[in-house]
Structure 1
Amino acid sequence: MDFQRSRRVGEEIHREISALLQKGLKDPRIGFVTITAVEVTPDLHLARVFFTVIGDEKARKDSEAGLARAVPYLRRELGKRLRMRYIPDILFRYDGSIEYGNRIETILKEINSSPDNGDADDHGDSQAD
Structure 2
Amino acid sequence: MDGPIEQKVQMAKEYSRTQRVADQVQKELAQIIQLEMKDPRLGLVTVSAVDVSRDLAFADVYVSFLGVDEQKHIDESVEVLNHAAGFLRSQLARAVKLRFTPQLRFYYDSSLRRGQYLSSLIEQAVAEDNRHGE
TM range (shorter): 0.7 to 0.9
User: Superposed, which structure 2 residues align to 1:23-34 within 5 Å?
Assistant: 23-34=35-46
Q: TM-score, normalised by structure 2?
A: 0.83
Is 1:67–2:85 an aligned residue pair? no
Q: CA deviation at 1:27?
A: 1.8
Q: Secondary structure at the match of 2:43?
A: coil
Q: TM-score, normalised by structure 1?
A: 0.86
Is 1:37–2:49 an aligned residue pair? yes
Unaligned 5+ runs, structure 1: 123-129
1:54-107: CA deviation from partner (whole Å, max 9, x where unpaired): 312222112111101110011101111111111111110100111000000000
Unaligned 5+ runs, structure 2: 1-12
CA contact (8 A) 1:67 1:92 kept: yes
CA distance in 1: counterparts of 2:31 and 2:41, whole angstroms: 18
Greater CA drift, 15-24 or 100-109: 15-24
The structure number with the bigger radius of gyration is 1
Measured at CA, do residues 81 and 12 of structure 1 come closer, stay the same or move farther in structure 2, by a change above 3 Å? Answer: same
Q: What count of residue pairs does the alignment treat as equivalent?
A: 120
User: Superposed, which structure 2 residues align to 1:1-129 within 5 Å?
Assistant: 1-54=13-66, 55=68, 56-114=70-128, 116-119=129-132
1:20-69: CA deviation from partner (whole Å, max 9, x where unpaired): 12214122222221110001111111101000113122221121111011
Q: Give percent identity, aligned residues only.
A: 29
Amino acid at match of 1:92: F
